[in-house]
């Protein structure tokens, strides 16, 4: 059974919320030492990326402010570059990119 686009949008929104919960009260230094939270954040980013990959291009084209291809590409990097994940990059995504993505996703919902 094919999932509705709205469910994928909810997956993205839920992943963003979870990452916010996982990183609340952390600074970069604490995050860099907390492998449990790093793993949790990476998993949520993978879920967000997988949801993006399942959204049809016709829908994505209607929302050009969202960097769909970059998000999907990040998912591939996180899933396949096991030992090469740059945690500084992950932290920057969490703090700089996710708030913007959250705002854009909220406009869709």
Question: What tens digit of pLDDT does each residue of 5-60 get?
Answer: 999 999 999 999 999 999 999 999 999 999 999 999 999 999 999 999 999 999 99
Q: How many domains would you assign to the chain?
A: 1
* Pairwise CA distance, residues 71 & 38, whole Å: 18
Query: Which pLDDT score is estimated for 81?
Result: 78
**Active site amino acids:** 75, 80
Residue 82 has pLDDT above 70, yes or no: no
Rounded mean pLDDT, 96-103: 97
Among positive and negative, which fits the CA dihedral 16, 38, 79, 95?
A: positive
Q: Which residues contact 89 (CB under 8 A, 6 or more apart)?
A: none
* Pairwise CA distance, residues 28 & 7, whole Å: 32
Band of residue 109 on the pLDDT scale cut at 50, 70, 90: confident
Owning domain of residue 47: 5-108
C-alpha dihedral, 103 to 107 to 104 to 67, nearest 10°:
170
Tell whether pTM > 0.85. yes
């Amino acid at each position: 059974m094919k999932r509705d686009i709205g469910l994928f949008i909810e997956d993205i929104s839920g992943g963003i919320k979870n990452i916010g919960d996982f990183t609340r009260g952390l600074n970069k230094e604490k995050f860099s030492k907390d492998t449990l939270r790093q793993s949790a954040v990476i998993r949520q980013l993978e879920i967000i990326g997988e949801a993006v990959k399942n959204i049809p291009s016709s829908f994505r084209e209607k929302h050009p402010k969202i960097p769909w291809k970059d998000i999907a590409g990040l998912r591939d990097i996180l899933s396949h570059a096991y030992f090469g994940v740059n945690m500084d990059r992950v932290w920057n995504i969490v703090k700089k990119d996710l708030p913007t993505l959250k705002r854009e996703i909220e406009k869709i919902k």
